[in-house]
Amino acid sequence: MPEPPLRVLLDQNIPREVLAWLKERKPSWICSHTSEIGMSGAPDPEIFRWAQTNGYIIVTFDEDFADTRTFALGAHCGIVRLRVWPTTAEATCNALSRLIAAVADADLAGSLVIVDQGKIRLRKPQIGS
């Protein structure tokens, strides 16, 4: 049985034009932007709740989402924290290209992934914890 499609929510700080690029690059993913779902300007906890309720991985520049004390590994569908500069559509797409090439879809689910200028760090939840 095939894996269900990955659901990806781009946070409000991700340039909107990245959504069209990502949908083209990964047509098997279900991708949305907070602006599409009526969450422009929503606080992080509200965005987080929506993503968890609907089974979405969050892609964001917001460092708060990488705080495992607040967003514990295994307690969310997945978070991708981009740490690239500048936060332009081009730099964002480049970072996401590297992520797509380096990390399997299955490894994104439930994990915290930090994408820096030069490396990608993947923290997966421990099984049974």
- pLDDT digit string (tens) for the chain, length 129 residues: 667 899 999 999 999 999 999 999 999 999 999 999 999 999 999 999 999 999 999 999 999 999 988 888 888 999 999 999 999 999 999 999 999 999 999 999 999 999 999 999 999 987 654
Which residues lie across from 81 on neighbouring strands?
60, 114
Q: Which residue has the tokens 């894996």?
A: 3
- Strand pairing class (7-10; 30-33): parallel
> How many structural domains are present in the chain?
1
Q: Is residue 128 part of a domain?
A: no
Q: How many Å apart are CA 72 and CA 87, to the nearest integer?
A: 25
Task: Name the E strands within the chain.
Answer: 7-10, 30-33, 57-60, 79-83, 112-116, 120-123
Q: Is residue 2 part of a domain?
A: no
CA angle 10, 16, 20 (to 5 degrees): 85
- Identify the domain containing residue 112 by its residue range: 7-123
Task: Name the E strands within 48-93.
Answer: 57-60, 79-83
Q: Is residue 88 part of a domain?
A: yes
Q: Is residue 1 part of a domain?
A: no
